[in-house]
Copies of this chain bind each other. A is one copy, B any other.
Amino acid sequence: MALYITGHKIPDSDSICSAIAVAYLKNTLGIEAVACKQGDINPETRFILEKFGFDEPITKTSYARCDTFITDTTDLALCPDDILDANVVGVVDHHKLGDLTTSSPLEAWIRPVGCSNTIVKEMFDYYGVSIPKNLAGIMTCAILSDTVIFKSPTCTKEDTKAVKELAKIAGIDNPKELGMEMFKIKSAVLGSSIRELVMRDFKDFNMSGTKVGIGQLEVVDLSIFDNMKDELLKDLETLRVEGDRNSVLLLLTDIMKEGSELLISSLDISKIEKAFDKKSVDSKMWLDGVLSRKKQVVPFLEKVFK
């Protein structure tokens, strides 16, 4: 039986590209492996896969009794629903240690870096397996995406080093330029419904028993949302009630201005205000310098919900 490699629910470029890369590595090491996804890919990821000639991973949502390798999360809420019935043999991740548990010893490659693909690069180096040109291309893009072209506070020297080495293999002369091209694709909102925008990069968090959903849209110019915020806020409210969540937040991140506008639907907005020590105006607040959900948003919310 093959080993299935999958990233988290509502896949982003890091989770898709890391699944493809780990599957390639395992196959090269003689372990039959299949890259999977848990849901539809976003426009940015589609751009990346098309640019370097990759098919989308297969969609697979049930993993019971399957040998499984998880990329880019160890949170049960983001893993397949039946993951505790799977045989999880490995994980690679760059987030805090979540509540996934396993019934057997496993390999876990977790590092406090900006992107899972940076760690997957380390895995290739460890095994002495060379990375094909096109694979290096999608790994480069994933790191540029997760680190917001090196601007995110989550970006480490390991990430910039990995991009340098991978871009060289991929023959990418100017990674920053490629990053900007990618973020322009990512900024496209035309043709997407309001719900599609909210869900494009959405994660549910269990904060000491409180369910908080946080979406993020990273764009090169925030003004494209100017006529959309009321609709977005209304949909956050709907989503909060539908999913029995305490709060649903949406980060509208301007990667050029380097900050985020936070849209809020919450049963207790004072908690959100306390987390960021800032008053909201019409359920919105500007967070200067905030680019990273993981490092600049989640920890402060976790503190107030503790």
Contact = CB atoms under 8 A, between A and B. Distances in A.
A107 B110 contact: yes
Interface in A88-109: 88-89, 91, 94-109
Nearest to A114: B105
Contact of A106 (B101, B104, B112): B112
24 contacts: A74-B97, A88-B97, A91-B97, A95-B105, A96-B101, A96-B102, A96-B104, A96-B106, A97-B100, A97-B101, A99-B99, A103-B299, A104-B112, A104-B299, A105-B110, A105-B111, A105-B112, A105-B113, A105-B294, A106-B110, A106-B112, A107-B112, A108-B110, A126-B126
A235 interface: no
The oligomer's copy count stands at 2
Interface in A107-138: 107-113, 126
Given A95-B105, A103-B299, 17 more contacts: A74-B97, A88-B97, A91-B97, A94-B105, A96-B102, A96-B106, A97-B102, A97-B106, A105-B111, A105-B113, A105-B154, A105-B294, A108-B110, A108-B111, A109-B109, A110-B110, A126-B126
Contacts of A96: 101-106
Interface residues of A, number: 30
Contacts of A273: none
A302 interface: yes
A184 to B, nearest CB: 29
A103 to B, nearest CB: 6
Contacts of A126: 126
A47 B101 CA distance: 35
Contacts of A107: 110-112
Contacts of A98: 101
A292 to B, nearest CB: 11
Contacts of A154: 105
Nearest 9 CB-CB pairings of A with B: A108-B110, A105-B112, A97-B102, A96-B102, A108-B108, A107-B111, A97-B101, A96-B104, A96-B105
A156 to B, nearest CB: 10
